[in-house]
Structure 1
């Protein structure tokens, strides 16, 4: 058993980690596609126990399960990338600019300066059933080899999935489970594209696909996520 501590800069809601970052941390422990389940909000700046299980790992806080990871499988069909002009035209309609209850979110928060958060502002593309954003891969997110850490690339798959459902559900949406994989590398300083789209809904559960495309428009990460509708959070 080992220990992990999530710094406050990686927050989602004020008192917990961003779900995508948490999932990305755990995904790094698995070779190939990983399935991460969040069972409780991961606390910040608090020692969390990482325990080996029969098929993966479990994260515990004071003996209670926070989340788990195991090898997974998923299938998504990544839609065609909108043009850069279409993505630029959509940005003024980014829902998180005025309506986000968590403007400090590591992935999608507008209050983070470049290098503090990912600043992935997934916005609805006119005439398409998807959201898209440009993502500038800041050197602050890179390892010594000059490539963005896998956990950050994986995190970029998170919030856009919720924005794909913006206006289609009531209340807030929290990540419940995500199966995904980082299959390529993102070079620090590159401008990437993040896409997300709806994959169906079942009661309080809404499903979304998402993908990260590198500067050459190659898919370097993708995921299928289950989002849970809850009362508004902050």
Structure 2
């Protein structure tokens, strides 16, 4: 078993006071070392020492005795067929126009989709739900600080980029909802500066649970990463 103390910077927030769910899921996936299935049990705190524990069964984030996030190797297909084709520039523009203003956004300072964040300090993927195509989509060009020494974008940022588009793609509107589960597979790691397109779409819903998918396409229209997510609306 490997155990290390980590602290998640406030830079990587989702809703106020907690870490972005896709980012922390990506941390767990990095420890697993491949396609993974992750469950989020409780919000992950920011700027506080927690533990990342990994073993043969998988990996988990712990706050003392409290399980925050746990993951295991995926071991099966994502069950996303059919994956949408890459969004056109026109669809992306329609999605961006439909993105909620800060006053209606449930997490306007989110690392992934927060419009109140400096684009140089966050992913700034801001595509709203376009009902005719039932899609949320946006462009994304990863910054150099998201890549390692090899120039390739790290797993945690790809998982983060797949997170919020799946929320908007689920058609939840602006309702408060939290990521409860995420499974993702990375085909290849893009280089910083690549021109990418990210799409989210609904799969099905039941009560407060919303299942959705998300995908990242490269400039050639090839899938480089995809995810299936579960969102749960927070009861008022």
The two structures have a TM-score, normalised by structure 1, of 0.92
Mapped pair 1:85 → 2:85: no
1:230 paired residue number: 234
Change (3 A) 1:58 1:164: same
CA distance in 1, matches of 2:194, 2:127: 17
Q: Could you list the runs of 4 or more consecutive aligned residues of structure 1 that deviate by over 3 angstroms after TM superposition?
A: none
Query: Are 1:47 and 2:52 an aligned pair?
Result: no
- Is residue 2:147 matched to residue 1:130? no
CA shift, 1:126, in A, is 5.7
Maintained 8 Å contact 1:6/1:46:
yes
Q: 1:96 to 1:207 in 2, by over 3 A?
A: farther
The residue that corresponds to 1:117 in the other structure is: 122
List gaps (5 residues or longer) in structure 1: none
Determine the C-alpha separation between the residues in 1 that align with 2:155 and 2:52: 19
- 1:151 aligned residue (145, 156, 163): 156
5+ residue gaps in structure 2? none
Q: CA deviation at 1:54?
A: 5.1
- For residues 192-228 of structure 1, the C-alpha deviation after alignment (integer angstroms, 9 at most, x for no partner) is 1001111111222110010111222211110111111
Bigger shift: residues 73-82 or 17-26: 73-82
Distance 2:117 2:144 in 1: 15
Residues 73-222 of structure 1 correspond to what in structure 2 (within 5 A)? 73=76, 74-77=78-81, 78-95=83-100, 97-125=102-130, 127-167=132-172, 171-222=175-226
Could you tell me the TM-score, scaled by structure 2's length?
A: 0.91
| Distance (whole Å) between structure 2 residues aligned to residue 137 and residue 227 of structure 1 | 25
CA contact (8 A) 2:210 2:232 kept: yes
- 1:70 aligned residue: 72
SS in 2 for 1:157: helix
1:94 and 1:135, CA in 2 relative to 1: closer, same or farther beyond 3 A? same
Q: Give the distance between the partners of 2:199 and 2:101, measured in 1 at CA.
A: 16
Give the C-alpha shift of residue 124 in structure 1. Answer: 2.7
Q: Distance in 1 between matches of 2:16 and 2:175?
A: 17
Q: Secondary structure at the match of 2:94?
A: helix
Q: CA RMSD in A?
A: 1.8
Contact 2:185 2:225 in 1 (8 A): yes
1:98 shift after superposition: 4.5
Q: C-alpha separation between the residues in 1 aligned to 2:131 and 2:56?
A: 46
SS at 2:68 equivalent: strand
Match for residue 36 of structure 1?
38
Q: What is the aligned length?
A: 231
Structure 2 counterpart SS, 1:107 = coil
CA distance in structure 2 between the partners assigned to 1:96 and 1:161 by the alignment? 18
